[in-house]
Amino acid sequence: MTAPLDGIVVADFSRVLAGPLATMTLADLGARVIKVERPNSGDDTRAWGPPYAPSGMTTYFESVNRGKSSVVLDLRDPIDHARAAELIARSDVVIENFRPGEFARLGFDAESLRDRHPGLIIVSISGFGSAAGADLPGYDFVAQAVGGLMHVTGEQDGDAMKVVVALVDVLTGKDAVIGVLAALRRREVTGRGSLVEVNLLSSLQGALANQAAAHLGTGVEPGRLGNRHPSIAPYEALRCADAPLAVACGNDAQFARLTEVLGIARLAEDPRFVTNADRVRNREILATLLEGRLAGESAATWASRLNAVGVAAGVVNSIGEGLTLAEELGLHPVVETVGADGRVSRQVRPPITWTPPYRSTATAPPRLGENTAEVLSWLDDTPEECP
């Protein structure tokens, strides 16, 4: 099967995480992605180490840059600027995450590009949009703080905490991909490209889901609950004999099965716990009663027994243990990509499975400027028709 985006060319002027994750996703789907990097230093994340991969590159850079070609261009140099303009002319999609207005100041404003190349899809990624927030520098950590995510993350009586992964960048990168795919579909119908804008703050707030809806619907500000859920109980980490166990009961029937497995079926008929609303109101005493039973066995033992009756439960694993579990479940979570020099990079595989499958041609994350000569030779050929 041909890859879904086979034949699509993406000019990647982005760096760090949101943009590179978006372009790597497009590469995983079969697009040809040409990553434009600054001379000498390249993408910022090339210096974000340790840790370092066996290739000597940082694992941060490798995590979001497989399947791409790297070309070094100085956009302030007239010759390189002309090469960048030619690359854009040959591309279907351009993705950039310069500070708002900077790409235009370099001579690549969206309006002019769209006039010259009507079918071009331009994706602009920023921290806080192109209006009043245009001058604000955008990093995931700050977006988590000002957008409210940190306010609801952490222990109830503890400090606000960020999510350890740059989750807002990841969400924004995925939103960018959604925008690209929709714009490609629209171009099929109209022949016209689009300007797609995404920003960290909007992607975060769109992902706050029930938490944001709770505030908008009631005026009440959600607070921190640690591992507990504001609207469901039990839905938290409970202590067992050796380790915590994540337990999620989404309805009354599941709660009844939980209590039966634990040997305290009477709790399902206790007026304090009959309905989910009852359990939320009495979550403290409920957790104490459940942990009194869970203390008798290991977390793994309880997880096995509860899963067997359809109650979601799982041991709190490390990342390595989580990957091992995925392998045991037949999800094949790790892929190996190979570079031009034979180096191998092990990474988490693309999360989408296709039937029928298509053969991935993804290569290992490129060294800085690894493909400059190849790309410049392509650009020096007779220009192709613009998209």
Provide mean pLDDT across the span 250-262: 97
Question: Does 194 share its domain with 239?
Answer: no
Question: Does 149 share its domain with 25?
Answer: yes
The Cα–Cα gap between 201 and 73 comes to 30
Task: Indicate whether 198 belongs to any domain.
Answer: yes
Instruction: Write the CATH number for 68.
Output: 3.40.50.10540
Domains of the chain: total: 2
Q: Which residue has the tokens 């041909």?
A: 2
Question: Does 364 share its domain with 278?
Answer: no
Question: Does 284 share its domain with 160?
Answer: no
281-324 pLDDT, tens per residue? 999 999 999 999 999 999 999 999 999 999 999 999 999 999 99
Task: Indicate whether 159 belongs to any domain.
Answer: yes
Please say if 169 is a catalytic residue.
yes
Question: Does 273 share its domain with 183?
Answer: no
Pure H helices in 222-354: 252-262, 276-281, 283-294, 299-308, 319-328
Angle at 267 (CA atoms; ends 266, 272), nearest 5 degrees: 135
What does the buried/exposed string (b/e) look like for 74-87 if buried means 16 or more CB atoms within 10 Å of the residue's CB? ebeeeebbebbbbb
Question: Does 294 share its domain with 337?
Answer: no
Instruction: Write the CATH number for 300.
Output: 3.30.1540.10
Predicted confidence band at 139 (pLDDT cuts at 50, 70, 90)?
A: very high
Question: Does 14 share its domain with 116?
Answer: yes
- Domain housing 247: 235-327
Task: Indicate whether 1 belongs to any domain.
Answer: no
Question: Does 183 share its domain with 292?
Answer: no
What does the buried/exposed string (b/e) look like for 249-277 if buried means 16 or more CB atoms within 10 Å of the residue's CB? beeeebbbbbbebbeeeebbebeebeebe
333-386 pLDDT, tens per residue? 999 999 988 999 999 999 999 999 988 888 999 999 999 999 999 998 865 544
Pairing of β 344-348 and β 244-248 = unpaired
**28, 140, 169, 175: which one is catalytic?**
169
Spell out where 56-157 has E strands.
68-72, 93-96, 121-126
Residues 97 and 56: beta-carbon distance below 8 Å: no
Task: Indicate whether 49 belongs to any domain.
Answer: yes
